[in-house]
Amino acid sequence: MKKLSVPDETIRRLPKYLRTLLSMKEQKREFVSSNQIAEFTYINPAQIRKDFSYFGAFGTRGTGYEVEHLIKMVKEILKLDSKPKAVLIGAGRIGTAIASYTGFGRYGIEIVAIYDNCPDKIGKKAGDITIKNRSNLSEIKRKNIKLAIIATPPQEAQSITDTLVKAGVTGILNLAPCYLNVPDNVRIRTIDLAMELGMLPYYT
């Protein structure tokens, strides 16, 4: 797996393929061609073939890709086959909405804990998970958790990030509208919904 030469954009597309492949598997489809994946994803078929080819030759000429096998390979590439665990910080409206969301399971990711610093919330449930005191955050080191979702006000996000990084987290999905400073080995994906909505009027 020649990680260094794989374009970042390819990695970003892999979960898209996975989503499509999983829905094809549900429909009991056994084989799929790059053209058929393209129909669903609006991604150019040559791009799709090239993306997969960075990791080996998974297809069969004349037939396409075996759905089940391709799902297995994509999960393996994305390291989703090891069932990664994630924690969620912030049990506000967005945090609790995410806690109740079942969509992460499709990618093999499980949210195993929620932390907040508001005394009234601690001990209550969000989804199926009990909200813990944020002062316990460092326990995630012991549990070897590498993923976190930040759903707190932006003022708190940086100091939480520092704690998470110290506890060994290397991937953060940040929903707070702010930039986060992290060492090179930590990957941040910030999603600011207002910002995303803010670029749409331009195109009208």
Partner DNA sequence: TCCTGTGAACTTGTTCACAGCT
Partner DNA sequence: AGCTGTGAACAAGTTCACAGGA
Identity of the residue, 137 or 176, whose beta carbon is nearer to a copy of itself in the bound complex: 176
Q: Which does 44 bind (CB under 5 to 8 A by kind): a copy of itself, DNA, none?
A: DNA
Tally the residues of the chain. 204
Residue 166 structure tokens: 């110290």
| Residue 157 near residue 165, CB atoms below 8 Å | no
Q: Which is nearer to a copy of itself, 162 or 179 (CB)?
A: 179
Residue nearer to a copy of itself on the CB measure, 74 or 122: 74
* Partner from DNA, a copy of itself, none binding residue 118, C-beta < 5-8 Å depending on class: none
- Cα 74 to chain centroid distance, Å, stands at 14
Least CB distance to a copy of itself at residue 53 (A): 17
Query: In b/e form, how buried is each residue of 21-44, taking b as 16+ CB within 10 angstroms?
Result: beebeeeeeebbbbebbbeebebe
If one asks whether residue 159 binds DNA (CB under 7 A), the answer comes out as no
Report the distance separating Cα 94 and Cα 163, nearest Å: 21
Strand partners, 116: 133
Between residue 65 and residue 94, which ones bind DNA under the rule CB under 7 A? Answer: 65
> How far apart are alpha carbons 85 and 80 in whole angstroms?
10
State which of positions 32-61 bind DNA (CB under 7 A).
33-35, 43-47, 49-50, 52-53, 57-61
List contacts with DNA (CB under 7 A): 7-10, 33-35, 43-47, 49-50, 52-53, 57-65
